[in-house]
Amino acid sequence: MFITYLRRELAGRRRQTAIIAIGMALAIALVMIVSSVSSGVRDAQASVLDSVYGVGTDLTVSEEPAAPAEGEAAGPGRFEFGADAGTTEGDSTAISQSRLTAGFGASTFDASALETVQGIDGVSAASATLALTNTTFEGELPDFAQRVEGGPSDEVAEGGEAGGPPAGGFDGAGGSAFDVNSFSVLGLDPAAAAVGPLSSVELDEGRGLEASDAGQAVAVLDASYATSAELAVGDTIDVGGTEFEIVGTVTSTSADAATAADVYIPLDLAQQIAGLDGQVSDIYVQAESADRIDAVQADLEEALPDATVSTQADLAASVSGSLATASSLIANLGLWLSLAVLVAAFLIAILFTIQGVTRRTREFGTLKAIGWSNRRIVGQVTGESLVQGLIGGAAGLALGLAGIWVVNFIAPTLGGSAGDGAAPGVLAAGPQGGDGATAGGPFGGRLDTAAATEVVLNAPVTVSVIAIAIGLAVLGGLLAGAIGGWRAARLRPAEALRSVA
Amino acid sequence: MYRLEHVSKTYTQSKRQVAALKDVSLTIPSGQLVAIQGPTGGGKSTLLQMLGALDRPSTGSITLGESELSHLPDRKLGGIRAKEIGFVFQGFNLIPTLTAQENVETALEPLGVSGEERRRRALAALASVSLADRAGHVPGELSGGQQQRVAIARALVKEPEVLLADEPTGNLDEETRDEIMDLLEGLWRDRGLTLVIVTHDSAIAKRAERRLHIKNGTVTER
């Protein structure tokens, strides 16, 4: 009887059923889409963070950069060329010099901090890196030596030729041209790739850095940087004046994200070339378990009072760009909009159910008169509302999945930057891909040190998204049914019959 | 058998006390056909609701068989209505979305009768009011007289001791009115029911064994 009555009621009141179902469907679909996109944005943030800090990194240790001491240069220092510098061909002299320096705004600290970190309870792995920037100054200028050899006094003595236009240079008429290129370099311990930036890369060509590479002039390049700089495995690259053999190229495991740096070299050589012996800029820490992260953070801060210790949560807050805009849009507008629509849908369902009960006063009065219990009538009303909610839920599920499909079909690209402020020491490790290498200007590489990366937003359909849809449908149905049923239960049969007499 | 002793019922209407029944005492023996007449607002429907265990008196007592209705909780009153009392209303009060047979089955639902048995008894009840061929029709597809027959089948399918009819022919034309009255009278005679009919219609009242008149909440014998 319950099923028959329920079926007949829903079929007999199609318009009410349709309105409630449509309201519920819209609300549920919206909540599903917002929830899925929000989860996609979280994944995108994680992807940005992984590309910079590596997979499995729970904490990073760095130091706030201190203002340069008086007389100390803030930038990469001066490029100094002696009288014999460069190679001369004809009237022109070509000069080139590379300097490997700590990234602008980065601070280095003593590598002994790594041992301190490793000695802390709850730390399962830790590795240190040195984030550097290689700046190459190269150019072509006229061969001044020729003019010196002639000597100004001779020129004057020979009458009339002193002060004549110099020959050579890039335009053959005494002009000069200079290029300043930079790329990011990350010195890391080849034996400790399990945690740190290289844990989120996969090999593209050649091989990765191995434990035996310590002290060897070998480098691994970011694949996109290698492509833009026209370098391949087997070529060499000048890092701080030392030729490194390129043994491999790597790409990020997260889609569309660049890796943390352009060039990866063994830590000891990086320290030696940059003149930063025994110095590191970042320590990547993996905790034994997620619930120990806070305790490890506290211990690290105590053990290294000068250091900045950042967790993934801190780092997530540092993600900026359109990704951050999307995240805040979802968190604010999306959440409130879906809540408002959900409340509206629930209210519609409740009001229609109450209206239905009021319209059926005589029906319920009659049923009570012939002996139906309150429980049976409340059950009937609730059952009807629940099925209406479930119909709405099924329609909402389909609509929500379609909406999520549309989001994934459009696949909006979000830009994200990580590292600004929260982990200043990592700034120099930002991937620059092709852009950093071709920035050209002396500060191009250094200013572009935040980890800017583009991530395609993928809204996943998870079990929780489906569960939310079904849960809301059941909740909406039960809520409307409970309130409608309560109204029906309050009807006294005599009053119910009298009211229509 | 009904026994009413000093029954009064007072309602509050717009902060005003209205006495619908005033110190009513009467006995209705089992198997009697009683007609209740009286002007509108005189207390007819209130008396019927007291008899039907739909409401409790403000003071006094009502006994049906062994049950004292005035102090029973709602759940037990519901049980008595489900088993012992059948109702027929002026407006038929059928559920519009259910078929004639399903409407009749609703009366067996609270008695916990199983599906197959329920269908069999509902069809038999419809046959007893000559509507077996309309079992699958919804009320909207039936005439007023046919709908009232379905309502009578619903009231009788559980084989109650008492049938209470509130203006059962009030919405029907004269010809149909007589058909329905013939039917009710036949059933009353065949089944030994106690039949109480509230009516404005003197032609119907004249067919009753006993006529009560109620005015201003006071009952008098005619």
| Chain A interface disruption, residue of B18, B47, B89, B147, most A CBs within 10 A | B89
**What average pLDDT does this structure show over A402-422?**
73
Distance from CA of B11 to the nearest CA of A (A): 11
Of A119 and B123, the one with more pLDDT: B123
Tell whether the model's pLDDT for residue A478 goes beyond 60.
yes
Q: What is the mean pLDDT of chain B?
A: 91
Is the model's pLDDT at A436 over the cut of 90?
Answer: no
B133-174 tens-digit pLDDT: 999 999 999 999 999 999 999 999 999 999 999 988 888 888
- Cβ separation B106–A372 shorter than 8 A: yes
Share of chain A above pLDDT 90, in %: 10
- CA–CA gap between residue B212 and residue B44 (Å, rounded): 10
DSSP readout, A190-220?
TT--SSSGGGGEEEEEE----GGGTTS-EEE
A492 touches chain B (CB under 8 A): yes
Q: Is residue A481 included in any domain, yes or no?
A: yes
Task: State phi, psi for A450 to the nearest 5 degrees.
Answer: -65, 150
The alpha carbon of residue A470 and the mean position of all alpha carbons in its chain are separated, in whole angstroms, by: 31
Instruction: Report the candidate in B150, B191, B142 with the shortest Cα–Cα distance to residue B168.
Output: B150
Closest CA to B4 of B33, B22, B34, B25: B25
A123: pLDDT strictly greater than 60: yes
Is residue A169's pLDDT more than 70? no
Nearest Cα of chain A lies from the Cα of B167 at a distance, in angstroms, of: 10
Instruction: Please report which confidence band the pLDDT of residue A427 belongs to, taking 50, 70 and 90 as the band edges.
Output: very low
Is the CB of B52 less than 8 angstroms away from the CB of A373? no
Contact A501/B at CB under 8 A = yes
Q: Is residue A152 part of a domain?
A: no
- Does a structural domain hold residue A491? yes
Give yes or no for B39 touching A (CB within 8 A). no
> What pLDDT shows up at residue A199?
75
Q: What is the value of ipTM here, to two decimals?
A: 0.93
Q: Does residue A109 fall inside a structural domain? A: no
User: CA-nearest residue of chain A to B56?
Assistant: A494
In this model, does residue A446 exceed pLDDT 50? no
B65: tokens are 């068989």
DSSP A2-27: HHHHHHHHHHHTHHHHHHHHHHHHHH
Q: Provide the pLDDT for residue A453.
A: 66
Location of structure tokens 């940087």? A225
The two beta strands, A173-175 and A168-169, are parallel
Q: pLDDT-based confidence at A147, cuts 50/70/90?
A: low
In a domain, A242, yes or no: no
Quote the CA–CA distance of B93 and B170 in Å, as a whole number: 13
* Rounded to 5°, angle at Cα B24 from B21 and B29: 125
Residue A160 vs residues A145, A149, A155, A172, A186: alpha-carbon distances, Å: 20, 17, 7, 22, 56
Lowest mean pLDDT among A189-193, A305-309, A379-383, B33-37: A189-193
| DSSP label of A180 | E
Average pLDDT in the B104-127 region?
93
Cα A163 to Cα A146, A155, A239: the distances in Å are 14, 9, 40
Residue A75: its pLDDT value, please?
A: 55
**Which domains are present in chain B?**
29-57+72-221 (3.40.50.300)
Q: Is the pLDDT of residue B182 over 80?
A: yes
| Mean pLDDT of all residues in A178-183 | 85
Tell me: pLDDT of B203 over 80: yes
Identify all chain A residues contacting B168, using CB atoms and an 8 Å cutoff.
none
Reported as a single tens digit per residue, the pLDDT across A41-95 is: 777 777 776 666 665 677 888 887 666 555 555 555 677 777 777 777 777 788 8
Secondary structure element (H or E) that encloses residue A78, with its range? none
- Asked if the C-beta of A367 comes within 8 angstroms of chain B's C-beta atoms, the answer is yes
For residue A447, pLDDT beyond 80: no
Residue A360 has pLDDT above 50, yes or no: yes
Number of C-beta neighbours around residue B197 at 10 A: 27
Average pLDDT for residues A92-115, to the nearest whole number?
A: 79
- DSSP class per residue in chain B: -EEEEEEEEEEEETTEEEEEEEEEEEEE-TT-EEEEE--TTSSHHHHHHHHTTSS--SEEEEEETTEEGGG--HHHHHHHHHHHEEEE-TT----TTS-HHHHHHTTTGGGT--HHHHHHHHHHHHHHTT-GGGTT--GGGS-HHHHHHHHHHHHHTT--SEEEEESTTTTS-HHHHHHHHHHHHHHHHHHT-EEEEE-S-HHHHTTSSEEEEEETTEEEE-
Is A204 within the bounds of a domain?
A: no
H or E stretch at A177: strand A177-188
The amino acid at residue B26 is L
Top-confidence range, A175-179, A355-359, A367-371, A424-428: A367-371
Show the tokens assigned to B217: 């909440």
The domain tally of chain A equals 1
- When pLDDT is averaged across residues A478-485 and rounded to a whole number, the result is 90
Token pair, residue A29, equals 């679909």
What is the number of helices (H) and of strands (E) in chain A? Answer: 17, 18
CB A35 within 8 A of CB A468: yes
Tally of CA atoms within 13 A in the half-sphere of B201 that contains its CB: 19
Residue type, B102: E
Residue A125, pLDDT above cutoff 80 = yes
- Does A87 map to a domain? no
Q: What is the pLDDT of residue A501?
A: 43
What is the tens place of the pLDDT at every residue in B67-106? 999 989 988 999 999 999 999 988 899 999 999 999 999 9
Q: Token pair for residue B109? A: 């639902």
Q: What's the pLDDT score for residue A421?
A: 37
Residue A95 lies in a domain: no
pLDDT of the residue at A17: 85
Residue A83's CB: how many other CB atoms inside 10 A?
A: 8
Report the residue of B54, B75, B152 to disrupt the A interface, i.e. the one with the largest count of A CBs within 10 Å: B54
Under the banding of pLDDT at 50, 70 and 90, the label for residue A144 is: low
Domain that holds residue A471: 2-48+323-412+457-498
Distance CA A118, CA A285 (A): 8
